[in-house]
Amino acid sequence: MSEISVLISEEDIQKAVDKMGKELTEVYKGKKLLIVSVLKGGFVFTSDIVRRIENEEMKISFIKAKSYIGTQSSGNVVVTGDDDIKRMNLKHWDVLITEDVIDTGRTLYELKKHFLSCGASSVKIAACLDKPSKRVVDIKPDYHCFEIDDVFAVGYGLDYIEKYRQLPYVGVLNGSK
């Protein structure tokens, strides 16, 4: 994969995820924690972070989210694959949405609203990567591992046309800004 330059090494990612796992173990101590992983990109980060959070009540769920922004349905996010969550009474649950990257922020802004309207006790966001310079809505991840510039990242769940998700590091395609 010579066309990819390493931006964040596997070792650095694992150290950051270890640290976040310890922090989240403390934050959610004694609470009912529902992890909601946003597919597809969030699957690698989710799999690493859930194995570092000690919480006996933790449940893990996966959803797909599609944002429809524009003249027809501005700001709407259509959530699919959440049948198991719909069957839960979220009243006593603290939701932690796990994502690969927060870019414009549109997806997570809408997802946060969605789960708050479902009655969750709290809704927070844990993202592996944060691109604050790209934000167009007022949202910040509550927890993030790395801030990155406006680059197109691949690996550690992130894809370029469905490729490179399996890389254990975060890279940048050579030639992309």
Q: Could you say which of 53, 63, 106, 171 contacts ligand IMP (CB under 6 A)?
A: 106
DSSP strand E in the chain: where?
A: 4-8, 33-39, 59-68, 76-80, 94-102, 122-130, 143-147, 153-154, 170-173
Shortest distance, position 167 Cβ to Mg ion, whole Å: 16
Catalytic residue among 82, 94, 103, 130: 103
- Residues in contact with ligand IMP, shown as a per-residue x/- string from 154 to 173 under the rule CB under 6 A: ----xx--------------
Region near Mg ion per CB under 5 A, out of 2-10, 36-44, 89-97, 121-129:
36-44
Report the C-alpha gap between 119 and 132 in whole angstroms: 28
Q: Which of 47, 3, 12, 48 is nearest to 169 (CA)?
A: 12
Concerning whether 150 is annotated as a catalytic residue, the answer is no
Is 107 an interacting residue with respect to ligand IMP (CB under 6 A)? yes
Is 41 an interacting residue with respect to Mg ion (CB under 5 A)? yes
CB-based contact 139:109 (threshold 8 Å): yes
What 3-state class would DSSP assign to 157? coil
**Window 116-155: residues binding ligand IMP (CB under 6 A):** 152-153
DSSP strand E in 9-132: where?
A: 33-39, 59-68, 76-80, 94-102, 122-130
Region near ligand IMP per CB under 6 A, out of 20-28, 29-37, 82-90, 105-113:
105-113
- Residue 78 or 91 with smaller CB distance to ligand IMP: 78
Active site residues: 103
| Binding stretches for ligand IMP (CB under 6 A) | 41, 67, 99-107, 152-153, 158-159
